[in-house]
Chain A
Amino acid sequence: MSPDAPRRSPWDGISFEERMATVDFRIGSRAHITVDADVCRSCTTKACVSACPANLFAPTADGGILFNYEECFECGTCYMVCNAEGALTWTYPDGGHGVVFHHG
């Protein structure tokens, strides 16, 4: 059987914003991940855009990437799938900051 069309149920109508609103983020003042949009402009795949589970990478009109560090799971998906050397600098948020899972 071929993969079927995605099903939608009445209780599955959770928007992405509602999903993210369930997560406790203690946002620090320092951006722990930075993106070099100049490098991103030459990237044809932009895998980070679809793969980031927090949906933090937004393509811009000029072919670059806009990134928001605030609601980050610190999972590492973006730098793992990034194929452009130097596009991402990736560190953990300062101690005590960032995501806090209460039901992990």
Chain B
Amino acid sequence: MAEILEFDAVVVGAGPAGASAALALARAGRSVVLVERGPFPGSKNVYGGVVYGRVLDDIIPGWWEEVPVERWVVRRSTMMMTGTQSLSIDYRTDAWGSAPYNGMTTLRCHFDAWLAGKATEAGARLVTSTVATGLVCDGTGQVVGVRTDRDGAELHAPVVIACDGVNSFLAKEAGLLARAEASHHTLGVKEVLDLPPGAINERFAVQDHEGVDIEILGCTRDVPGGGFLYTNATSVSIGVVLSLPELAASGTRPEELVADLKSHPAIAPLLRGSTLREYAAHLIPEGGYDTMPALSADGLLVAGDAGAMTLAAGIWLEGVNFAIGSGYAAGQAADRAVAAGDCSAAGLASYRADLEGQFVLADHKRLRKAPSLVLSDRVQQRYPGLLCDLAEGMFTVTNPTPKAGGFKVTRAAAARHGVSLRQLAGDTLRGLRIFG
């Protein structure tokens, strides 16, 4: 007979969502076990740029004094490119370089371990190198625990919180998440390149602990997606995010697109002399609000990537903050349900209501139409080149030919890229409606 251990709550996955859920439960005095399949928290995790810290203000006051930060992001750049051109909107502010800060770059094995450490300090029990292989349900179908691959031991609790990531097999087993919906996912591939801090500071125009985050459009050939480049303390991370169905149909190898980006004339000089430290790949749930699973079932809550809570809205790209926000709320909802003695879906329903009332679901709801616009053919294939040509048309001095007006340059650039002014106006309006 396999061993059965009883808790008030079982949290699966010690990423930011799971650690936050376990922290909330432990603080409420609940016995909670945090199960992690990797050898340490963060060992299975990859992200694409910036952790935004505002969500931590209430959860861990003064978090910036102790968080394992690589660099504080003081420059945020959006770059549109073709093979030979690039156009950037680059914003820099001192305000993001001092407390309470805005966003940071970090390494997930450090950040996730730090957050999980907060949960264990509060009394949560962390069990690593253990896979939750399936749900344990009672006769009525209510989830009452998980099975593990550790000698078949079972962890039982009135509520299980699935923070088991983008592939969440627990949410799938519970029927909350589709088995495989490629169109709702992108593949992120990333290379971490070692670069001396002095070179980083000079090339990215920063100093000390300041960092840069560059998001890039137009660098993924015929595969919808985007690129990113951000600075760590002694390395830079560069990668691309690719729509899965189109990647599969294109036959293009993902690392080829990273190599493309690395060799772009606007990027290559930033990376010169760097050496590859680590190559990584991870899926991202990018379907947005309209594709999110139900977030609770009888005895079960879902948070973080398992609940598709990454905001992939082009100009805003966030995930870790949503994992923390949803995880902490899930832990609080689980505590309330345990206290009330009702961990049915109805008893856990305050979780969804809580998320709707704060940024976690409010942001997703507001930007629900963004993924389809950002991944649309014109935004992906035509606008980066159109805007680059527009800049080239405006800034190329054509003496002795007199300057062309802005309207003429725009019309010419649009025509060259097969976009009518009507479409351009329509998409502008659509963008304003979505982001405005």
Chain A residues near B (Cβ < 8 Å): 1, 3-9, 11-12, 14, 16, 18-20, 22-23, 26, 45, 47, 50-51, 53-55, 73-77, 79-82, 91-96, 98-104
**B278-293, CB under 8 A of A: which get 1 and which 0?**
1111110000000000
Which residues of B are found within 8 Å of A47, using beta-carbon distances? Answer: 248-249
Kindly identify which residue among A7, A18, A22, A94 contacts B260, using a CB–CB cutoff of 8 Å: A7
Kindly identify which residue among B169, B272, B281 contacts A53, using a CB–CB cutoff of 8 Å: B281
Cα A27 to Cα B252 in complex, Å, equals 28
Are A3 and B83 also in contact (CB < 8 A) when A81-B248, A102-B278 are? yes
Pair A50/B263 contact, Cβ less than 8 Å: no
Q: List the 10 closest A-B pairs by CB distance, nearest first.
A: A4-B83, A96-B129, A53-B281, A47-B248, A9-B263, A81-B248, A104-B46, A103-B192, A95-B129, A104-B108
Which residues of B are found within 8 Å of A1, using beta-carbon distances? Answer: 82-85, 385, 388-389, 416-417
Nearest residue in A to B277 (C-beta to C-beta)? A103
Q: Indicate whether B356 reaches chain A with its CB closer than 8 angstroms.
A: no
Pair A101/B262 contact, Cβ less than 8 Å: no
How far in angstroms is the closest Cβ of chain A from B431? Answer: 22
Q: Indicate whether B167 reaches chain A with its CB closer than 8 angstroms.
A: yes
Given contacts A9-B262, A23-B280, 16 further A-B contacts (CB under 8 A): A1-B85, A4-B84, A11-B268, A14-B259, A18-B276, A19-B191, A20-B279, A50-B247, A50-B248, A51-B248, A75-B187, A95-B131, A95-B149, A100-B39, A101-B45, A104-B190
Pair B149/A94 contact, Cβ less than 8 Å: yes
Nearest residue in B to A99 (C-beta to C-beta)? B44
* Chain B contacts with A in 94-109, Cβ cutoff 8 A: 107-109
Pair B281/A80 contact, Cβ less than 8 Å: no
**B114-145, CB under 8 A of A: which get 1 and which 0?**
00000000000000111101000000000000
Q: Identify the interface centre among B43, B189, B272: most chain A CB within 10 Å of its CB.
A: B43
How far in angstroms is the closest Cβ of chain B from A45? Answer: 7
How far in angstroms is the closest Cβ of chain B from A71? Answer: 11
* Chain B contacts with A in 405-426, Cβ cutoff 8 A: 416-417
Cα A103 to Cα B275 in complex, Å, equals 14
Q: Indicate whether B180 reaches chain A with its CB closer than 8 angstroms.
A: yes
Which residues of A are found within 8 Å of B268, using beta-carbon distances? Answer: 9, 11
Task: Jot down 6 A-B pairs with beta carbons below 8 A, ordered by A.
Answer: A8-B263, A19-B191, A55-B253, A101-B280, A103-B109, A104-B44
Cα A96 to Cα B36 in complex, Å, equals 9
Nearest residue in A to B39 (C-beta to C-beta)? A96
Which residues of B are found within 8 Å of A16, using beta-carbon distances? Answer: 255
Cα A9 to Cα B260 in complex, Å, equals 9
Which residues of A are found within 8 Å of B365, using beta-carbon distances? Answer: none
Which residues of B are found within 8 Å of A22, using beta-carbon distances? Answer: 276-279
Cα A7 to Cα B45 in complex, Å, equals 30
Pair B271/A11 contact, Cβ less than 8 Å: yes
Pair B248/A75 contact, Cβ less than 8 Å: no
Nearest residue in A to B185 (C-beta to C-beta)? A80
How far in angstroms is the closest Cβ of chain A from B182? Answer: 4
How far in angstroms is the closest Cβ of chain A from B328? Answer: 22
Kindly identify which residue among A18, A75, A91 contacts B283, using a CB–CB cutoff of 8 Å: A75
Which residues of B are found within 8 Å of A45, using beta-carbon distances? Answer: 248-249
How far in angstroms is the closest Cβ of chain A from B216? Answer: 15
Cα A102 to Cα B273 in complex, Å, equals 22
Q: Indicate whether B251 reaches chain A with its CB closer than 8 angstroms.
A: yes
Kindly identify which residue among B108, B189, B221 contacts A3, using a CB–CB cutoff of 8 Å: B221
How far in angstroms is the closest Cβ of chain A from B86? Answer: 12
Are A54 and B281 also in contact (CB < 8 A) when A94-B131, A104-B108 are? yes
Which residues of B are found within 8 Å of A81, using beta-carbon distances? Answer: 182, 244-245, 247-248
How far in angstroms is the closest Cβ of chain B from A34? Answer: 16
Which residues of A are found within 8 Å of B129, using beta-carbon distances? Answer: 95-96
